[in-house]
């Protein structure tokens, strides 16, 4: 038997009950004591994972995924990209070019860039191909369109990693929970 209480923000443990403010816990080796505010709770390892460790880990995972995205692709840049995409759709329409087909071609080029062993070199090749295919469009529009595609692929890459890490965390039944590190992709 172990007795516990929170006093002045500190966890006080004892083998004897000094006064009635201590809570008694029958503590086998697999018990976790958790302090929240001024209360102490005892959990088995599986209860601790489900009630404490997993929610904290998932919250931290979501925070880190968001931070990874916003550090490389801040919200002002996302907003600018959305505005440019709308303007580019209007320009494509003025040349009777299907915006959907154009976007699909950009995404295929982006997939090719990221599947190559040298993304910067592949990017240069894809941009050259794009420029020669759409001579009527400005090179800055074409480069910006390819850059936007790369940034959107970056976001999707982080989302996919988040889903994978989240699944690993949720299926974990032992401590410590699996660790993770988000891996970014090359951005132009």
The string of pLDDT tens digits covering residues 61-91 is 999 999 999 999 999 999 999 999 999 999 9
Dihedral sign, Cα of residue 82, residue 88, residue 94, residue 100: negative
Residue 87 contacts residue 106 (beta carbons within 8 Å):
no
Half-sphere exposure of residue 90: CA atoms within 13 angstroms, side-chain side: 5
Q: What is the pLDDT of residues 152-161, one digit of tens each?
A: 999 999 999 9
Residue 85 contacts residue 148 (beta carbons within 8 Å):
yes
Residue 187 contacts residue 150 (beta carbons within 8 Å):
yes
Angle value at C-alpha 76, between 115 and 56, nearest 5 degrees: 75
pLDDT at 7 over 80: no
pLDDT at 15 over 70: no
**If pLDDT is split at 50, 70 and 90, which confidence band does 1 have?**
low
Check: pTM over 0.85? Answer yes or no. no
CA–CA distance, 87 with 100 (Å, rounded to integer): 14
Per-residue pLDDT at 26: 67
Q: What is the pLDDT of residues 115-172, one digit of tens each?
A: 999 999 999 999 999 999 999 999 999 999 999 999 999 999 999 999 999 999 999 9
Residue 57 contacts residue 169 (beta carbons within 8 Å):
yes
CA–CA distance, 137 with 129 (Å, rounded to integer): 13
Distances (CA, A) of 35 to 6, 30, 41, 134, 160: 8, 17, 7, 64, 34
Q: By three-state DSSP, how is residue 32 classified? A: strand
Radius of gyration of the chain (CA): 27
CA–CA distance, 120 with 125 (Å, rounded to integer): 9
């Amino acid at each position: 038997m172990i007795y516990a209480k929170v006093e002045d923000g500190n966890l006080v443990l004892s083998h004897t009950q000094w006064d009635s403010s201590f809570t008694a816990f029958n503590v086998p080796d697999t018990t976790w004591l958790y302090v929240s505010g001024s209360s102490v709770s005892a959990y088995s390892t599986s209860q601790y994972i489900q009630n404490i460790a997993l929610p904290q880990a998932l919250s931290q995972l979501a925070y880190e995924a968001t931070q990874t995205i916003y550090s490389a692709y801040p919200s002002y840049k996302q907003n600018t990209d959305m505005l440019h995409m709308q303007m580019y759709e209007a320009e494509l329409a003025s040349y009777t070019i299907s915006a959907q087909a154009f976007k699909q071609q950009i995404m295929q080029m982006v997939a090719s860039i990221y599947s190559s062993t040298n993304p910067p070199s592949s990017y240069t090749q894809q941009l050259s191909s794009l420029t020669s295919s759409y001579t009527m469009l400005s090179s800055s529009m074409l480069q910006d369109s390819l850059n936007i595609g790369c940034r959107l692929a970056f976001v999707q890459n982080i989302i996919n990693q988040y889903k994978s890490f989240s699944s690993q965390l949720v299926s974990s039944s032992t401590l410590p929970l699996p660790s993770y590190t988000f891996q970014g992709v090359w951005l132009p």
